[in-house]
């Protein structure tokens, strides 16, 4: 990108790598994968070009929301080790560019979605972007330890958007998939928050381990994991998926609960390596990738 900004003594170019980093590409890869699986699980055939364009729209919309989140949180990100090297707090990109990039990308993603699919999916995509930026980032995150429980709903929308892009309407399976990600988010995030608690405390963000303490957070991780396991398996007995998905969900959810049990029943691990917490966080990501892959594999096996 041709634009440059003054940072201390130096003038640094705002290059495409920083704009790309603004979209949180690693986190969004799973968001986009769940959207793709939602689209492919729908019992209709979608033209590959329009299907691809719809998924691209979701990827761009998710990326835009990540950029707007980082634009708003540049000051907070500067206070945390994990985020201090992001393009804005590190001074490689100026806030105005980031804001224009985020708003432009969001608008483009919605036009693309409208062109590629239908107004229902476009509306859902718009709601997810607005929810993540305004409800989660600006309103809940600095105010309440329930921020990620309520705000996390934004991250649960993508499979529903994928399904609606393909079919034009909502159905029980994508609602259950929404519920699965919604219930998955607390153990996913709090496992991580347990070992980066000091970062959040330094930035003054009221994440659960900072406000309610470590023991309460551990108990909640386990509680959500157990309810999530029920929601993950539910599509099988309810008849929305077959045994391939059912067994995958049952086995992986049992593992998820076992790992959470280790985290949930542990006493304070201050100064420890936090290995069970790190394991649960890493497993949470693999879990969602595999489970959503299984939803699609199951539909193709049944077809």
Ligand X SMILES: CC(C)=CCC/C(C)=C/CC/C(C)=C/COP(=O)(O)OP(=O)(O)O
Residue numbers of the site for ligand HEM (CB under 6 A)?
26-27, 30-31, 34, 148, 151-152, 155, 181, 185, 188-189, 192, 285, 288
CB nearer to ligand X: give 112 or 233: 112
CB nearer to ligand X: give 27 or 302: 27
CB nearer to ligand HEM: give 114 or 278: 278
CA 234 to chain centroid, in Å, comes to 22
Q: Which residues of 56-76 are buried (b: 16+ CB within 10 A; e: fewer)?
A: ebbbbbbbbbbbbbbbbbbeb
Task: Please list, in sequence order, all residues whose beta carbon lies within 8 angstroms of the beta carbon of residue 239, skipping any fewer than 6 positions away.
Answer: none
CB nearer to ligand X: give 33 or 256: 33
Stretch that binds ligand X, among 13-21, 124-132, 169-177, 232-240 (CB under 6 A): 124-132
CB nearer to ligand X: give 152 or 235: 152
CB nearer to ligand X: give 132 or 236: 132
Pairing verdict, β 10-13 and 4-7? antiparallel
Distance (Å) of CA 250 to CA 68, 229, 243, 255, 281: 37, 8, 10, 9, 19
Distance (Å) of CA 143 to CA 34, 139, 259: 29, 7, 30
Q: Is 184 in the site for ligand X (CB under 6 A)?
A: no
61 contact, one of ligand HEM, ligand X, none, CB 5-8 Å limit per kind = ligand X
Joined tokens for residue 55: 């998924």
Please pick, from the candidates 21, 22, 40, 62, the single residue that binds ligand X as defined by CB under 6 A. 62
| Tokens 């705002």, located at residue | 14
The DSSP bridge partners found for residue 10 are 7
Stretch that binds ligand X, among 24-32, 49-57, 88-96, 166-174 (CB under 6 A): 24-32
CB nearer to ligand X: give 161 or 263: 161
Please identify the residue of the shown chain whose CB is closest to the bound ligand HEM. Answer: 155
CA 161 to chain centroid, in Å, comes to 14
Query: Least distance from C-beta 82 to ligand X, angstroms?
Result: 7
Q: Is 117 in the site for ligand X (CB under 6 A)?
A: no
Task: Give yes or no for a contact between 243 and 230, defined as CB atoms under 8 angstroms apart.
Answer: no
Q: Is 27 in the site for ligand X (CB under 6 A)?
A: yes
Alpha-carbon distance of 109 to 171, in angstroms, equals 24
Task: With CB under 6 A as the rule, give the number of residues binding ligand X.
Answer: 20
Query: Least distance from C-beta 36 to ligand X, angstroms?
Result: 12
Alpha-carbon distance of 274 to 2, in angstroms, equals 44
Q: Is 128 in the site for ligand X (CB under 6 A)?
A: yes
Q: Is 292 in the site for ligand X (CB under 6 A)?
A: no
Q: Which residues of 184-212 are buried (b: 16+ CB within 10 A; e: fewer)?
A: bbbbbbbbbbbbbbebbeebebbbbbbee
The residue ranges that bind ligand X (CB under 6 A) are 24, 27, 31, 58, 61-62, 65-66, 69, 73, 83, 125, 128-129, 132, 141, 154-155, 157-158
């Amino acid at each position: 990108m041709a634009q440059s900004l003054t940072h201390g003594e130096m003038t640094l170019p705002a290059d495409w790598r920083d704009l790309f980093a603004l979209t949180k590409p690693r986190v969004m890869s799973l968001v986009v994968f769940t959207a793709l699986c939602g689209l492919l699980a729908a019992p209709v055939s979608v033209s590959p070009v329009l299907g691809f364009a719809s998924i691209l729209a979701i990827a761009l919309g998710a990326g835009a929301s990540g950029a707007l989140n980082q634009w708003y949180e540049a000051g907070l990100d500067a206070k945390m080790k994990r985020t201090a090297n992001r393009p804005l707090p590190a001074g490689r990109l100026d806030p105005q560019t980031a804001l224009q990039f985020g708003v432009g990308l969001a608008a483009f993603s919605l036009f693309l979605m409208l062109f590629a699919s239908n107004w229902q999916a476009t509306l859902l995509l718009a709601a997810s972007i607005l929810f993540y930026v305004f409800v989660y980032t600006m309103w809940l995150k600095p105010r309440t330890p329930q921020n990620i429980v309520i705000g996390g709903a934004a991250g649960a929308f993508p499979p529903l958007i994928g399904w609606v892009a393909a079919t034009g309407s909502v159905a029980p399976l994508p609602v259950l998939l929404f519920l699965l990600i919604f219930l998955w988010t607390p153990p996913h995030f709090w496992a991580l928050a347990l070992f980066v608690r000091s970062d959040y405390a330094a930035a003054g963000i009221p994440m659960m381990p900072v406000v309610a303490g470590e023991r309460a957070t551990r108990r909640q991780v386990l509680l959500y994991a157990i309810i999530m396991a029920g929601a993950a398996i539910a599509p099988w007995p309810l008849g929305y998926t077959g045994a391939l998905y059912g067994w995958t969900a049952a086995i992986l959810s049992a593992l998820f609960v076992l790992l959470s049990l280790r985290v949930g029943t542990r006493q304070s691990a201050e100064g420890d390596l936090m290995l069970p917490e790190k394991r649960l966080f890493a497993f949470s990501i693999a879990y969602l990738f595999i489970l959503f892959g299984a939803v699609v594999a199951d539909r193709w096996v049944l077809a």
